[in-house]
Amino acid sequence: MFDFVRKYLDLAVKLLMVGVLVAAPVSMYMIIGFAPLEAVMGAPQKIFYYHVPIAMLSYLGLFICFAGSAAYLYSGQEEYDSIALSGAEVGTLFVTLVMITGMLWARPSWGAYWTWDPRLTTSLVLWLIYSGYLLLRSQVEDSTLRAKYAAVMGIVGFVDVPIVHYSVQLWTRGIHPVVDKTGADHGMDPRMLKTLMACFPTIALIFVLLFLVRLRYEFAHRSLERLKAQSKG
Amino acid sequence: MSFVVAAYAAIWIFFITYFSVIMRKTSAARKALAAVSPGAVPMGQGAKPSGLTGSSDQG
């Protein structure tokens, strides 16, 4: 399976780069020129169009880490460890962006960059868990031990993802709004909804592109490390 | 409006920087691999590949 992945990684990266170069200007145009100004929040509401897709795809990155970690512990194949690491790194980047864009949206909307709202607090905990995951990987010398420790942390750390997602419902005293309503009662202007629907695939393409380039690097890096180890032996 | 500009600038700076760093590291790793593999040493055969330089080749 991994031979097939390695074979088509370069082609997939090239196609995704073209996709991002087409989709990104379209989504930015829709945010700036197509989506209307929101009546209460005004311009800062436009942060919403990238903030929400980035948040959803950060969950995907961390789920990839969880699944890769479980597969590594089950099979012992180091490619699964590469997948887990790539998912965690891109997922952590996305969580970082969610927090930065969230703070930049909160300041004009709530009057403060940060409040100890349940969604914000659990997101900070999530960021700390996966920053710890990446730190752990950099501190263990032995590659097998590193992969095992990281896999355990990748599985346990994922517990926080549903807590972040459902924190708005679990702790109702928070001020973060529920933004994932679907169906007829989403209460959103059709132009806003179209803009959000244009931004989702753009961010998804960027996510897959970053994940695949990270995975491709990890494969190359590990091949090099193996050859160096062989030359030493 | 400045908050919107700052948010989108942060997003694109993060994406482009991360992408550039990983691409540069991949390129360096592939160059090092190409330098190592002219001897076409099959992995797992225990033979020393030619072309390795630096301390890792001293042993």
* Chain B: residues touching A (Cβ < 8 Å): 1, 3-4, 6-8, 10-11, 14-15, 18-19, 22-23, 25-26, 29-30, 32-33, 36-37, 41, 43, 46-49, 52, 56-57, 59
Q: Count of alpha carbons within 13 Å of A49, Cβ hemisphere only?
A: 31
pLDDT, residue A231, reads 79
What is this model's ipTM? 0.89
Q: How far is CA A160 from CA A36, A99, A145, in A?
A: 35, 16, 24
Confidence class for position B39, pLDDT limits 50, 70, 90: low
**CB contact at 8 A, A31 and A46:** yes
Tokens coding A113: 């960059």
Best CA proximity match to A47, nearest among A116, A119, A97, A121: A97
pLDDT, residue B55, reads 43
Best CA proximity match to A64, nearest among A151, A177, A192: A151
Looking at CA atoms only, how far is residue B40 from chain A in angstroms?
Answer: 11
Q: How far is CA B6 from CA A57, A91, A153, A167, B13, in A?
A: 21, 21, 33, 27, 10
Task: Give the three-state DSSP class for A143.
Answer: helix
pLDDT, residue A182, reads 54
Contact between chains at A221 and B25 (C-beta distance less than 8 A): yes
pLDDT tens, per residue, chain A with 233 residues: 777 778 788 899 999 999 999 999 999 999 999 888 888 888 888 899 999 999 999 999 999 999 999 999 999 899 999 999 999 999 999 999 999 999 999 998 888 899 898 899 999 999 999 999 999 999 998 889 999 999 999 999 999 999 998 888 777 766 677 655 555 556 788 899 999 999 999 999 999 999 999 999 999 999 898 888 887 76
